[in-house]
């Protein structure tokens, strides 16, 4: 699976194993303010490092109300394109996106799970945008230890859902423990001039 495709699948809650990425009942960052990040606006292009990856594009557009619209596509992929709504926030040095799938290939998303927040960390450094998802095993361990409120479904591939209330959620993710829950980088992109 290409790195770009993995990122798209992760964002749209359609990972290869049919297991949802970690979701949150509430958006991370709501107590500090969800607002558009103007540094994201534009078209970003990424290419995986596995040699078989195709170029993928993420177009971030400002929309009113503290959200951004995102169009994701890869001209070389047969699966078409996806559109999402994204809310961003900064908790200290951690920058997060709360993503919601709106449509795939122009068809509205009807899965109730798409209403939950798929939380990603993002970094903007040296003209590059890097995205990473929450690590399911790390979040499950934090929930089981009582550090974070949530639900871990049974089984090895059980879904992980964060249920913490906004104030507790933001306080946790503003800490080193919260920032450490994000996994490896999914994709790094450069802005298209």
pLDDT digits (tens, 9 = 90+) for 35-90: 899 999 999 998 655 555 677 899 999 988 889 999 998 876 666 789 999 999 99
Specify the pLDDT at position 47.
65
Q: For the chain, what is the domain count?
A: 1
Q: Which of 2-11, 30-39, 68-77, 91-100 has the lowest mean pLDDT?
A: 2-11
Domain residues for the domain of 112 are 3-191
Closest by CA to 119, choosing from 129, 131, 103, is 131
The alpha carbon torsion through 4, 104, 137, 179 (nearest 10 deg) reads 70
Specify the pLDDT at position 187.
87
Considering the entire predicted model, what is its pTM?
A: 0.84
Which helix (H) or strand (E) segment holds residue 143: the answer is helix 136-144
In the predicted structure, residue 113 carries a pLDDT above the cut 60: yes
Distance between first and last Cα of the chain: 27
Across 47-186, where does the E strand assignment appear? 56-63, 67-73, 81-91, 94-104, 107-108, 117-125, 128-133, 150-152, 160-162
- In this structure, how many other beta carbons lie within 10 angstroms of the beta carbon of residue 48? 20
């Amino acid at each position: 699976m290409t790195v770009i495709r993995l990122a798209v699948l992760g964002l749209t809650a359609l990972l290869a194993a049919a297991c949802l990425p970690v979701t949150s009942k509430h958006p991370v960052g709501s107590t500090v303010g969800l607002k558009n990040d103007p540094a994201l606006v534009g078209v970003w292009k990424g290419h995986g490092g596995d040699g078989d990856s195709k170029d993928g594009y993420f177009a971030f557009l400002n929309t009113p109300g503290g959200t951004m619209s995102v169009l994701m596509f890869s001209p070389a992929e047969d699966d078409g394109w996806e559109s999402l709504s994204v809310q961003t926030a900064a908790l200290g040095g951690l920058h997060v996106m709360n993503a919601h799938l709106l449509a795939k290939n122009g068809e509205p998303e009807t899965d109730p799970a798409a209403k939950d927040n798929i939380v990603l960390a993002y970094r903007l450094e040296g003209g590059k945008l890097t995205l990473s998802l929450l690590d399911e095993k790390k979040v499950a361990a934090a929930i089981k230890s009582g550090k974070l409120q949530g639900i871990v479904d049974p089984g090895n591939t059980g879904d992980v859902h964060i249920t913490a209330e906004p104030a507790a959620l933001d306080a946790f993710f503003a800490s080193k423990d919260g920032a450490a829950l994000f996994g490896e980088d999914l994709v790094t992109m450069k802005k298209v001039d």
